[in-house]
């Protein structure tokens, strides 16, 4: 089945700086890569996703890049703000057969924005 590795587990950045979270996946058949944000005590919410037919996608201060050859994808947050503090999860999906269907999640990155 699919295996997703996420780094770092904790990331502390100064307000206004950029943050980058990286994920690698194992199954080359995966073709959908969403990112979820989870605030303390809340449910995960989708913030951005990318499919394997594109290399980069942006939404205001958030961007995701995908390198299918190397099987890794990254979340970039620019001009970080206090409300960006949360746990971020990457996921990979689209594996046809073999292992569980649906999404495989990374273990999460706790992003801390220092004032």
Sites for other proteins among residues 61-100 (CB under 8 A): 89, 91, 93-95, 99-100
Residue closer to other proteins (CB basis): 1 or 16: 1
Q: Which stretch binds other proteins (CB under 8 A): 14-22, 60-68, 69-77, 103-111?
A: 103-111
Cα separation, 45 vs 51, in Å, equals 18
* Shortest Cβ 42–other proteins spacing (Å): 8
- DSSP assignment of 64-91: EEEETTTTEEEEEE-S--GGG-EEEEEE
106 touching other proteins, by CB under 8 A: yes
> Hey, what are 71's tokens?
């099987």
Radius of gyration of the chain from Cα atoms?
14
* Shortest Cβ 16–other proteins spacing (Å): 29
CA 50 to chain CA centroid, Å, is: 10
Question: What is the sign of the dihedral through the CA atoms of 98, 103, 109 and 110?
Answer: negative
Residue closer to other proteins (CB basis): 86 or 91: 91
10 touching other proteins, by CB under 8 A: no
45 touching other proteins, by CB under 8 A: yes
């Amino acid at each position: 089945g699919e295996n997703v590795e996420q780094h770092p587990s904790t990331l502390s950045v100064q307000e206004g700086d950029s943050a980058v979270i990286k994920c690698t996946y194992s199954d080359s058949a995966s073709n959908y890569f969403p990112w979820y944000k989870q605030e303390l005590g809340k449910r995960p919410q989708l913030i951005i996703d990318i499919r394997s037919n594109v290399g980069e996608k942006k939404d205001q201060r958030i961007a995701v890049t995908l390198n299918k050859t190397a099987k890794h994808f990254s979340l970039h947050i620019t001009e970080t703000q206090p409300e960006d503090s949360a746990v971020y999860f990457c996921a990979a999906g689209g594996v046809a057969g073999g292992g569980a269907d649906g999404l495989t999640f990374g273990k999460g990155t706790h992003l801390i924005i220092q004032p």
